[in-house]
Structure 1
């Protein structure tokens, strides 16, 4: 019944948009609700993809112009940035002149400071408690100040060469619009104002976000080609496919894998591309249990038929044997190569005191859908059946994506929180700060399972304190090799970011990134 209700909602939005059909792009997201639109989007990284970058800019943006390599950074509201030669913790950003918010007001250096106060200054009248969910992105900022009308300074806690990657997710909103809606962040979500290529027209919870072209966008090469962009939450993959087939949407995120051949036969476009993303279990390494033993964790990694999982997904993923793929410069040279090796898995389990004659239970938190989670229920069943052969009894706690996100932000062993041996979900690793925050003791709440390794900490601290890119790469690769061997995760697959589109959707070139550029798309 829920799937039918969602489909009817999608149809209602499609009907409302039909007046400008040729100029409207309608996208079905995998989320169960629309992401929040006030500049701190929820719903994980999918929130950033749809309710972040289309509406807002950061000081530093992502470059989608090159699609034959992983996306990297490009100037956003800052035209350039540099580290003070006298102080490696002091970053100077030169601001872009003449940028206007959607409310018509000009961007100033004071506005940037106001936005950092929103995130970091608990004494500020406009401090936003929701900023806790984005704390990773401001975690290295110790101080910030205006340095004239066209420059601001960010000072880091320690020398931190990857700061531009972090602050690429600090979206800049209009202080004037915040005041105009009564200085209330909830009211701001309904009538937000950023500087991005799309403006928010309306937000209807559980139904849609309607955006329109910002014809005055400062980057004239990225003024949207469509007049409207309508974003709809449809968490069920089969319902998304039905909405695409019926013409109620033009584009869907992650189609049901077994629907792909028939979609292609009917003339729909299927677009895939590798990018830095992994679907894995994140192990709880705090509370006692079999997973505290590295031999058990390695055994589970040898027990998974990843090629079989790729077959289940109809080729929309590739096997994962680490957080990064083998061909990535950060992969390194681990001792363990996690092929499907049942005998090795059984031997490692037996060495640790486990096996079919001495089984053990694991409890896993699993999302029903959501940001980068592919088709989690059939995938989880595949893992459950696979591990049962080795005496590992997998019990799933199935929850909506918002609940899983909250679970990831709550440390294992916290009073009142159910015991979970792992959390199973998809996660982007589009820049080195993602890896840093997830595998070091300096990672804060991002390191849910609280994996700790002194050498990994040392390597990553050194990598992030140097400004030599070749040295950074070598140090991160060494750290990743240790992570692979210590297996704080069950590495399963890297997805290929599949999406399906109607034949009349033109101009989209998929970037090797979690984030994508919707400004060049047309609907004929």
Structure 2
């Protein structure tokens, strides 16, 4: 009798009595990164790190709305229910915190946790100061000047100058449980493998450096409408495109970032899902204008290269997974403006500008470019850069050599000073960039954000641009903001700090078992919408 009873209970539990057990669902994703992004709550490896090991686990006061495909992603309330500028000070923002939120370790998210994390990033002598996370966060929120707790549910953050776009910077400040740091003996390297606790819809369950990170649905998530449909997610770094392709075909993974362009047709023929979509992103070369002896101090040289590149041929090489770029924004964007230059493939004009700047067939322009083997938003960097190298040589007689490095090394180079030994003499770096909002524009191009303190690697300064940025930062009238934004972008085109090459279309390849994925107009994605059949 005991045996029969035990068997019957087991049969019910296993679904043998007409109630089938629900199998756990696991989604396996191959990233382009060469290693797993850091797991302390402020991931490295660029925005791919934020995409997979940032927002799904660790959240900000402000979050992205990633549920739509028909418009560029905007902001939504996150760990703050609302925010506003202080009525008596347009440099101070008041954030009203969401109540009842718990970290994955069961501790409370509150104003003390906010201040503790801000000290982690912005207070060099705090016990919890984390240098790598601080460098990333300060570069993404360079205007943050001070902060204070008003009460348990309210904090104030003050910027160095008025900035109507500051919430677009606050979205990149993520929060980790202070208890994670204490549990690790006040050692961030140990926090990374605990794993660390956030507040997001997924929690980290296992970290295997250079191999994978395992996530599980967080059933205690504060938003009942955004609880994950997947039980588990496995994130694997596979930097080589053809290796990712093989992993998808063999069933090792269910989803790959950036399939190789020449493999897309065969994937479609084999019933794999290919997703693409326009999103705010540009794949450029950054000119090192500040280096001693840089040829890019001359605007004619910077403009010339923008006329020398055959973008349409590159798009064809990429099997249509990108579109030509003529500026930081897409030409179809209403804020593109009406610049004097409209960059198309015009080798004659490019050569004329180079000759005016002193570069002729007898004295050709020659320089080194630092590029990566893979990385977040880097698309297919080696064949793309080899195409541009050959294109520039054939169209305008320009000689380009490459220094090929790992993605994180290239990111670090982007925060170097112009003559830093880390650049090894490079006059160009190839780092893909978001173009999602004015906050990003300010980070990359304001003269107040020269490297190493900000993302203005080129150390580009344009007074008309800075004046337009100040106007829109201080304005509340949408018409004034839009007019100033158009003016600012016109300067980015006519006085280009970058060689604008393509805007990519965010290609991914997935098993047909993957359901519910939304490709938003953003670098980031909402994994809570995804399920497995």
TM over 0.5: yes
Does the 8 Å CA contact 1:301/1:491 hold for their aligned counterparts?
yes
After superposition, what is the alpha-carbon deviation per residue over 1:145-185, rounded to whole angstroms, capped at 9, x for unaligned? 11112111111111111111111111111112221221111
Aligned-partner Cα distance in 1 for 2:115–2:304:
50
> How many residues were matched structurally?
506
Match of 2:255 among 248, 251, 263: 251
Q: Which residue matches 1:12? A: none
Report the CA distance between 1:425 and its aligned residue. 2.4
Contact kept, 8 Å, 1:159 with 1:465, in 2: the verdict is yes
1:230 aligned partner: 234
State the Cα distance separating 1:413 from its structure 2 match. Answer: 1.2
- Of 23, 26, 41, the match for 2:25: 23
Q: Which moved more, 1:212-221 or 1:70-79?
A: 212-221
Structure with the greater alpha carbon radius of gyration: 2
Q: Indicate whether 1:347 and 2:352 are aligned.
A: yes
**For 1:107, which of 102, 106, 109 is the aligned residue?**
109
- Three-state SS of the structure 2 residue aligned to 1:89 is strand
SS in 1 for 2:457: coil
1:491, CA displacement in angstroms? Answer: 0.6
Does residue 160 (structure 1) correspond to residue 160 (structure 2)? The answer is no
C-alpha separation in 2, matches of 1:279 and 1:128: 30
Choose which of 370, 388, 411 in structure 2 pairs with 1:405.
Answer: 411
Could you report, residue by residue, the CA deviation over 1:196-247 in whole angstroms, capped at 9, with x for unpaired residues? 0100011111110100000111111211111000000000111111100111
Q: Per-residue deviation at 1:467?
A: 2.6
The farther-off stretch of 137-146 and 40-49 is: 137-146
Tell me, yes or no, if the aligned pair for 2:411 and 2:431 is still in contact at 8 Å: no
Matches within 5 A, 1:17-416: 23-130=25-132, 131-190=134-193, 191-287=195-291, 288-389=293-394, 390-414=396-420
Distance 1:222 1:251 in 2: 21
Measure, in 2, the Cα distance between the counterparts of 1:469 and 1:34.
Answer: 41
Question: Secondary structure at the residue paired with 2:430?
Answer: strand
Alignment pair present for 1:447 and 2:456: yes
Task: Report the Cα distance in structure 1 between the residues aligned to 2:271 and 2:175, rounded to whole angstroms.
Answer: 40
Q: C-alpha distance in 1, partners of 2:469/2:220?
A: 42
Please give the alpha-carbon distance, in whole angstroms, between the structure 1 residues aligned to 2:502 and 2:289.
22
Q: CA RMSD in A?
A: 1.4
The answer to which of 349-358 and 55-64 deviates more is 349-358
CA contact (8 A) 2:201 2:228 kept: yes
Q: Structure 1 CA distance, aligned partners of 2:510 and 2:179? A: 38
Report which stretch shifted further, 217-226 or 343-352.
Answer: 343-352
Query: Residues 136 and 166 of structure 1 are in contact (CA less than 8 Å); yes or no, is this contact kept in structure 2?
Result: no
3-state secondary structure, aligned to 2:203: strand
State the secondary structure of the residue aligned to 1:210. Answer: strand
- Checking the alignment, whether the CA contact within 8 Å between 1:196 and 1:217 is kept in structure 2 is yes
Aligned partners of 1:358 and 1:391 also within 8 Å: no
Residue 428 of structure 1: which of 417, 434, 438 is its match? 434
For residues 427 and 113 of structure 1, the distance between their equivalents in structure 2, rounded to whole angstroms, comes to 30
Change (3 A) 1:471 1:281: same
Residue of structure 1 equivalent to 2:477 = 468
Gap regions ≥5 residues in structure 1: 1-19
Aligned-partner Cα distance in 2 for 1:340–1:155? 46
Please tell me whether the aligned partners of residues 223 and 519 of structure 1 are also in contact (alpha carbons under 8 angstroms).
yes
CA 1:301–1:238 in structure 2 vs 1: closer, same or farther (change >3 Å)?
same
Structure 2 CA distance for aligned equivalents of residues 416 and 211 of structure 1: 35
TM-score (structure 1 length as normaliser): 0.94
Q: Is the 8 A contact 2:337 2:486 kept in 1?
A: yes
TM-score relative to the length of structure 2? 0.93
**Which shows bigger deviation, 229-238 or 183-192?**
183-192
Rounded Cα–Cα distance in structure 2 between residues aligned with 1:161 and 1:133:
22
Q: 2:493 aligns with which of 474, 484, 496?
A: 484
Which moves more between the two structures, 418-427 or 271-280?
418-427
Contact 2:288 / 2:458 at 8 angstroms: preserved in 1? yes
Q: What SS class does the counterpart of residue 286 from structure 1 fall into? A: coil
Deviation at 1:332, TM superposition (A): 1.1
State the alpha-carbon separation in 2 of the partners of residues 442 and 311 from structure 1: 38
